[in-house]
Copies of this chain bind each other. A is one copy, B any other.
Amino acid sequence: MSASMDLSRMCSVGLLTHECFDDLGNFIVQAEEAGHDFVVTPISHPTFRRVLNEDNATDKETQENWKDRPVFNRNDLVIKSAEWSGKAIGLLANWIHLDSTNAEIRLCSELALKQEIEWACHISLTGLIFPSLPKGSLFNTARAINNAVRSMSFTQFLVRVPLTDKSAVQSNLPWKQWNRLRTLTEYNTKIGVVLELTSELPIDEKLLNMWLAEPVKAVIVPAEIFVENSKGYPVLTKPHQKFIKKLMDKMKPDMIVTLPNTPIHKLATPSSYSEYISFLNRNLPELQDVDKFATGYQDYLQAPLQPLMDNLENQTYEVFEKDPIKYQQYEKAVYKALMDRVEHNSDIVTTIMVVGAGRGPLVNCCLRASEKSERKVHIYALEKNQNAFVTLQNAKADVWGDKVTLVFADMRKWKPATQCDILVSELLGSFGDNELSPECLDGAQKFLKEDGISIPANYTAYASPLASTRLNNNVAAYKDLEHYETPYVVMFQQVCELAAPKPLWEFSHPNKQIDVEPMNNLHNVRYSQVSFDVEHDMVMNGIAGYFESVLYKDVMISIRPETHSPGMFSWFPIFFPIRTPVQVPQGSTVTMDFWRLTDAKKVWYEWTVSVYGSGGQEMTVLPIHNVQGRSYYVGL
């Protein structure tokens, strides 16, 4: 249990009722007394259903008058005034049938929906919940909702989606209906999800985790899914607890409980259910350093660094030097290299060149490794950023002394007098080669003796298909081609990987294939095609990229989820958008084609995605993105 409670992680807890209370104020007071922050209640009484005129009981004039100017009779309303609007979320009528085959019922359903929404907006309700989506076609439902939410600003529109369908618990039927709705409404940011948990959960965790990629703004935990513990109190099963905690951690949704009509848990009181939810909320797994470091950056799109073209700022160095793991791994790598290269008690001085020394953290690593291994070293610290170079001079004057020689130069151009035994660099980006480590080390490897060691020895780019409504919308908000063809560095939060990442390509150093002065950069061109089998119906919004790097022998650093160096926070993943969301039907194969390309002045990526059915038929092919680096490139 965490010592101090983090208020920023606490979810509001509300009480849902389908009953239509005449005295709503009284119900709200009672709900608050039982520890609820808000209530969820129908907006109108079932009497309002007469406007559908299903039984033709209403005279034509009355009906036509209503259709022309829909106005509420106050007796039809449960939420009668703005008095409680801050405390209440409204349930939209569950009898509307927007995809009825009867045109008149469709039309009147839409008018009734609009009438409820307009009233809710008029009294500034914070939220509205649309009933569970019908099975089958919901094209007119989607069209009507899409039109109706256009005028909404303050009030949030949520669609109720059960986690599972009774007829097929181990599938994602309700998600498919939601997916169809949001595809038809083009990821309308005014439409969110309230996810209703069910007693049975799918066993395949993917079917749960895919909700992390959806705009889940609230979660309903009905009393009926609670079980009784040995003492008679209502509790949730372990899988339910785990899933709810994950939702709380990633989405911070409003939590909504219900009370049973007739008692089902012996010792339950009206506050038991909300208290249990709050208990789970207080007991989320503690935040990691990396999470704290990343606060505010989750799912935020950052442009990747271009350290070759731009000089880093002091603050950037400051942040990255604090990584508790990265420099530990570098120290280990240098230590092992020294141990392998020089015998104990030898007088040999190993020459180490740190290329791109920044403010000196790698120099310190090398010095610590030298001390620990009891091997003598001399270090050249090379840096092209004039500002960082001042800090290096300070360190040399104050700490390093003669053990370190400073060189102010660009590693691609410097001509050293001697060669080194070990070349140490930290030029990796989130995708490995995306900050031009290959090009820089091509230039620097002439500093290295024939049998010298490069740390890192190699690095591999990984990619996987990703779903994320939030990332999709963040890119779409820019409304231009460029942002759809630019990779971003992102701390993933509300995302779901459709399949585990696969390797695209690798770079190894030193590269024995190239000349001392390579004429051009063609040897750093890469192309890879990778395919992923997808078991469930899913949607894809982009590509997640990672790297994995061998520093030296078994010393690695990695941000690939499966092998992520624990606690290392220097790199967030990289995210490559795609220009339209892609439907990925059950049993189909997602193929990605990825290129790393270059001309005399720049390096860029191009990528595309295609989907094939189980019979191999082409379902979707996206155009190749970022043709000739038109939207994004890294300058040489």
Contacts and interface: CB of A to CB of B under 8 A. Distances in A.
Interface in A127-143: 137, 139-140, 142-143
B537 A624 contact: no
Given A150-B627, A613-B585, A621 B183 contact: yes
A147 interface: yes
Interface string A148-169: 0010000000000000000000
Given A68-B520, A520-B67, A580-B580, A585 B617 contact: yes
Contacts of A619: 583, 585, 613, 619-620
A185 B623 contact: yes
Contacts of A203: none
B146 A519 contact: no
Contacts of A529: 137, 139
Nearest to A629: B147
B527 A140 contact: yes
A618 B613 CA distance: 11
Contacts of A137: 529
Interface in A167-182: 176, 180
> Which of A106, A185, A525, A621 has the most chain B CB atoms inside 10 A of its CB?
A621
Given A585-B619, A621-B180, A150 B107 contact: no
A628 interface: yes
Given A585-B613, A608-B139, A619-B619, A628 B186 contact: no
A20 interface: no
A583 B583 CA distance: 12
Nearest to A594: B139
A184 interface: yes
A143 B606 contact: yes
A410 interface: no
B618 A583 contact: yes
B627 A525 contact: no
A522 interface: yes
Contacts of A176: 618
A387 interface: no
Interface in A565-622: 580, 583, 585-586, 593, 595, 606, 608, 613, 617-622
B520 A617 contact: no
A96 B452 CA distance: 39
A103 interface: yes
A620 B583 contact: yes
Nearest to A61: B515
A65 B146 CA distance: 60
A289 interface: no
A6 interface: no
A64 interface: yes
Contact of A107 (B68, B139, B180, B522): B522
A146 B146 CA distance: 37
Nearest to A617: B585
Contacts of A65: 519
Interface in A466-522: 515, 519-520, 522
B180 A618 contact: yes
Contact of A617 (B139, B183, B537): B537
Contacts of A184: 608, 621-624
A165 to B, nearest CB: 16
B103 A527 contact: yes
A344 B185 CA distance: 61
Nearest to A585: B617
B150 A183 contact: no
Given A525-B107, A613-B585, A623 B519 contact: no
A69 to B, nearest CB: 8
A67 B522 contact: yes
Interface string A70-110: 00000000000000000000000000000000010011000
Nearest to A106: B527
Nearest to A142: B624
Contacts of A520: 67-68
7 contacts: A64-B519, A67-B520, A68-B519, A140-B595, A146-B624, A180-B618, A184-B623
Given A183-B622, A585-B618, 4 more contacts: A67-B522, A180-B621, A583-B618, A619-B619
3 smallest CB-CB distances across A and B, nearest first, come from: A186-B623, A139-B593, A68-B519
